[in-house]
Amino acid sequence: MTDLPPGTGIILGSTVDDIVGTAWLLGHDLKSPVALIISAMEVLIATYEDDPNMAAVMPLLRGSLAAANRQHNMVGDLLDLARLETGHYELERAPADVTVLLRDGLTAEDYAITTKKLKLEVDLPPTPLMVNVDSELFQRIVSALVDNTVKFTVRDDTLTIRARQVGDQIEIVFSDNGRAIFPEFEQHIIERAPQWDKRQAGSRTSVGLGLPFTHAVARAHGGTFTARTDATTHITSFTMTFPVYQADQKSETKNG
- On whether both 31 and 102 belong to a single domain, the answer is no
| pLDDT of amino acid 24 | 59
Paired strand residues for 189: none
Domain boundary among 59, 85, 111: 85
Say whether both 230 and 105 belong to one domain: yes
Residue 205 domain-assigned (yes or no): yes
The two beta strands, 158-166 and 119-123, are parallel
Task: Looking at the structure, tell me whether residues 60 and 162 fall in a common domain.
Answer: no
- Average pLDDT of span 36-41: 83
- Does the pLDDT of residue 11 top 70, yes or no? no
Evaluate whether residue 3 is within a structural domain. no
Does residue 202 have a pLDDT over 50? no
Please indicate whether residue 16 or residue 84 has the higher confidence score (pLDDT): 84
The last residue of one of the domains, among 85, 103, 127, is 85
Same domain, 169 and 140: yes
Q: Give the C-alpha separation, 175 to 236, whole Å.
A: 5
List of residues 6+ apart from 233 with CB closer than 8 A: none
pTM above 0.85, yes or no: no
Closest to 138 in 3D by CA, of 179, 110, 115, 108:
108
Question: What pLDDT, on the 0 to 100 scale, is given for residue 197?
Answer: 44
> Mean of the per-residue pLDDT values for the chain?
81
179 in any annotated domain: yes
Q: Write the CB contacts of 238 (distance below 8 Å, at least 6 apart in sequence).
A: 145, 148, 173, 174, 175, 211, 214, 225, 226, 227
**How far, CA to CA in Å, does 36 sit from each of 22, 32, 65, 88?**
22, 6, 11, 27
How many domains, in total, are found in the chain?
A: 2
Q: Give the end of a domain, one of 55, 85, 115.
A: 85
Of 208, 236, 239, the closest CA to residue 225 belongs to 239
Domain containing residue 141: 93-243
Indicate whether 250 belongs to any domain: no
pLDDT of amino acid 249: 61
The shares of helix, strand and coil residues in the chain, as percent rounded to the nearest 5, are 45, 20, 35
pLDDT of residue 124: 97
Same domain, 111 and 143: yes
pLDDT value of residue 165: 97
102-158: pLDDT as tens digits: 999 999 889 889 999 999 999 999 999 999 999 999 999 999 999 999 999 999 999
With a pLDDT cut of 70, the percent of the chain lying above it is: 77
What percentage of residues in the chain have a pLDDT greater than 90?
46
Tens of pLDDT along 42-90? Answer: 898 889 888 998 988 888 888 887 777 777 777 777 777 877 877 778 8
User: Are the C-beta atoms of residues 209 and 247 closer than 8 Å to each other?
Assistant: no
Answer yes or no: do 120 and 231 share one domain. yes
Q: Are residues 36 and 152 in the same domain?
A: no
